[in-house]
Structure 1
Amino acid sequence: MPIYLFWGDDEYAMQQAVKDLRDRTLDPNWASFNYDKIPPEQPDGVIQALNQAMTPPFGMGQRLVWLAETTLCQRCSEDLLAELSRTLPDIPDSTVLLLTSSSKPDGRAKSTKLLQKHAEIREFAAIAPWQTDQIVQRVRQVAQSTGVKLTPGAAQLLAEAIGNDTRRLHNELEKLHLFAGSNKPIDEGAIALLVSASAQNSLKLAEAIRLGDTGRAIALVADLFARNEPALRIVATLVGQFRTWLWVKLMTESGERDNAAIARAADIANPKRIYFLQQDVRAIALYRLQQSLPLLLQLEAGLKHGADERVLMQSKVIELCQVFSGTGQRS
């Protein structure tokens, strides 16, 4: 199929897929003649892309036309929709038309429905930081595809260390591949030696807050900033973890005994994790978990509005620790 729509917020994974498609499509000797990348700010970029897509390639190989960061699947005029309807079915096999967007296509839009008929659609959504089972699975898949052998413990530790950062996963596996230098599986010792654990520290920060350990929490915040971990990424991990704890506590207290049902509500892939999450929140009052999310949302909003990251993070972490240590005010 000569038409592709790539969408999602995992920028690195999408870039790799675009590179693979470009390498498969273009003859290296004729690439400069047959490759067009049309940026989103280009006036009449969609019309230009369609015109180029109908143009036969020069020399060997195919033509690749890339309409980058398009908004076609969010808004599309009737005139533009008519042009798409006329052109897409007739794009020759000698051309590959690629559309990419970081935003999810609007399934109600006529343009999206049209592309569903004529294009191969691929999603490149980043795994949520708290979906640890899926992150471990991704680590195993990428390690296998890159020829890196990991012991089960090493895969788990690597997932904890890097979280959902796909770019870093590839970089770390490349480093580990050079370190191993043979077919010997890489174990936990090599991971601990070579990979810094920023994502793991974000989860440890959530644990310290849950325990009301202010000193340890502040130390972990300082460590994360020293590692240049983005503040919004730290907050995303905290929000996900406290949301999971809240769902588990809420459904358990409501009398739900089916771990699979709790896992579905909390967006947890492996129901076996529910037992351990229930132990985490067994001694915590439900209202404390309910108070945590508004504070985290205030933290996120403050960061997005340009507040001093370190000062705001420290103050909100202290407030959160007070909620769970029992020194904060019940609302």
Structure 2
Amino acid sequence: MKELEQIFKHIKNREFLPIYFFHGEEAFFIDAAVKALENDVLTEDEKAFNQTVVYGKDTNYNDILALSRQYPMMGDKQLIIVKEAQDLKLNEDESRILENYATNPVESTILVFAHKHKKVDSRKKVFKVLDKANMLFHSEPVKDYNLAKWIEDESKSLQIKLAPGIAQLLADYLGNDLSRISNELNKMKLVLKEGEVLDGKLVETHIGISKEFNVFELQKALGKKDSNQAFKIAYYMGKNPKTNPIVMTIGNLYNFFSNVVMYHTVANQGQSLIASALGVNPFFVKDYAEAARNYPLKFSTRVISVLREIDLKSKGLGAVNMEESELLKEMVYKIVNIDKIKS
């Protein structure tokens, strides 16, 4: 949510809007904004009288706005927070009621909607009214290619110094789960000594991610067809199945080799167009180019079949009592020897 810092600043300065309607796919930013309002608008004594929290599945817009038109007790402001607002039903009558309230809100009420996991229908007039009044806030997911930068910024705000490459490692391994990333960084904030730098060893010890032996290093080794390194990584990962679940490994490799297949179809285009087609940062196009050289189209499609086969075996189909470590070794062997295996 691009306005988040501005929202925090205004809250700190006690400059409040009458309505905050947060919506969008990324719950992390919505939760952060709601928490700031919940913590800082009212004192603990005022909250007992003037803070109300309701849930979308238990109420409706008509009742919420009736609460909003009441006046605070023993204070200047009342705060009404509607959590899980995506569960509210917005029919024509309630849409009109909300629109009317948005055009003439009660100044002593701060009304907060947390509409998570999806966008509202911005074509509806009520949301156009909220948007025009700067009371509608869209929370978008952080793009994969911006995730490492977000982690760097989040670490900086927590005064955590990162060793080179650690932000990208966390981005690669933890994925786009901002809540998990934030929790891990806050945990490391408690662990790190003053002046200590968060490096690969600390990440492996406290978060369980090895900088050398993880699914992304395995992906890189397989892309290069470096069988020795791939087997070494697979051996380590097989010894640590809790931090390297095979389902995640297969999923990541499936996405990688699907992009290798896609690369073959767009290889004659410019780098930026290829990156767009693959949905990756242009920096990583070279990795797919190398993998495509090592796995021509007919072989890269066979790799997809191998991954599907291992996935079925990991679920107990066609492989009785096979350990994940053995499945990993079988998978690596078949991929690096894909040109020698009969289809």
Q: TM-score range by the shorter chain?
A: 0.7 to 0.9
Q: 1:178 to 1:217 in 2, by over 3 A?
A: closer
- Contact 1:25 1:61 survives alignment (8 Å): no
After superposition, the C-alpha distances for 1:265-311 in whole angstroms (9 at most, x for unaligned) are 22223x232123211222212245456679989999x9xxxxx9743
8 A Cα contact 1:57 1:94, kept in partner: yes
Q: What's the counterpart of residue 260 of structure 2?
A: 245
Coordinate RMSD, CA, aligned: 4.0
The one-letter code sitting in structure 1 at the alignment partner of 2:108 is S
- Residue aligning to 2:108: 94
For residues 239-263 of structure 1, the C-alpha deviation after alignment (integer angstroms, 9 at most, x for no partner) is 54344333333211xx21x212222
Q: 1:305 — aligned with what?
A: none
> How many Å separate the matches in 1 of 2:47 and 2:32?
18
Residue-by-residue CA offset, 1:71-102 (whole Å, 9 max, x unaligned): 489x7321122112211122223222222221
Give the conservation status (yes or no) of the 8 Å contact 1:6–1:124. Answer: no
Q: CA deviation at 1:51?
A: 1.5
Deviation, structure 1 residue 123: 0.7
Any gaps of 5 or more consecutive residues in structure 2? Answer: 1-16
Match of residue 120, structure 1, among 93, 117, 136: 136
Work out whether residues 26 and 61 of structure 1, in 8 Å CA contact, stay in contact via their aligned partners in 2.
no
Assess, with a 3 A threshold, how the Cα gap between structure 1 residues 2 and 246 changes in structure 2: closer, same or farther: farther
Does 1:84 find its partner at 2:84? no
The structural deviation recorded for 1:206 is 4.7
Q: CA deviation at 1:145?
A: 0.9
Q: Distance in 2 between matches of 1:168 and 1:161?
A: 11
- The structure-2 alpha-carbon separation of the partners of 1:28 and 1:70, relative to structure 1 and needing over 3 Å to count, comes to same
Partner of 2:23: 7
Q: 1:48 aligned to 2:63?
A: yes
Q: Does 1:311 align with 2:316?
A: yes
Worse-superposed segment, 273-282 or 194-203: 194-203
TM-score (norm 1): 0.74
The answer to whether residue 277 in structure 2 is matched with residue 261 in structure 1 is: no
State the one-letter code of the partner of 1:135.
L
Of residues 195-204 and 258-267 in structure 1, the stretch that sits farther from structure 2 once superposed is 195-204
Q: Distance in 2 between matches of 1:295 and 1:113?
A: 50
Q: CA deviation at 1:64?
A: 2.2
Q: 1:63 & 1:259 partners in 2: Cα distance?
A: 54
Matching residue within 81, 98, 118 for 1:66: 81
Q: Secondary structure at the match of 2:100?
A: helix
The superposition leaves residues 141-181 of structure 1 with CA deviations (integer Å, 9 ceiling, x where unpaired) of 11011111113233333334433332332233233333332
Call closer, same or farther: CA 1:251–1:66 in 2, change over 3 Å: same
Cα 1:137–1:151 shift into 2, 3 Å: same
8 Å contact kept, 1:8–1:126: no
Contact 1:242 1:289 in 2 (8 A): yes
- 1:298, 1:98 → 2: CA distance? 49
List aligned pairs for 1:293-304, cutoff 5 A: none
Is the 8 Å Cα contact of residues 242 and 292 (structure 1) preserved in structure 2? Answer: yes
Aligned to 1:104: 119
The offset of 1:230, in angstroms, is 9.7
- Once the 2 structures are TM-superposed, how far is the Cα of residue 9 of structure 1 from its aligned partner? 4.3
Q: Which amino acid aligns with 2:43?
A: D
Select the residue among 56, 72, 83 that pairs with 1:57: 72
Unaligned runs of 5+ in 1: 303-307
What is the alpha-carbon distance in structure 1 between the residues aligned to residue 236 and residue 120 of structure 2? Answer: 38
Are residues 1:138 and 2:143 paired?
no
Q: Could you tell me which residue of structure 2 aligns to residue 21 of structure 1? A: 37
In structure 1, how many angstroms separate the alpha carbons of the residues matched to 2:123 and 2:332? 41
Cα distance change on mapping 1:83 and 1:243 into 2, 3 Å: farther
* 2:5 equivalent in structure 1: none
| Counterpart secondary structure, 1:272 | helix
1:27-58 deviations in whole A, cap 9, x for unaligned?
2211132222222321x422122122222222
User: Secondary structure of 1:103's match?
Assistant: coil
3-state SS in 2 of match to 1:64: strand
Q: 2:285 maps to what in 1? A: 274
Give how far 1:113 is off. Answer: 3.1
Aligned to 2:20, what secondary structure does the other structure show? strand
Match of 2:192 among 177, 180, 185: 180
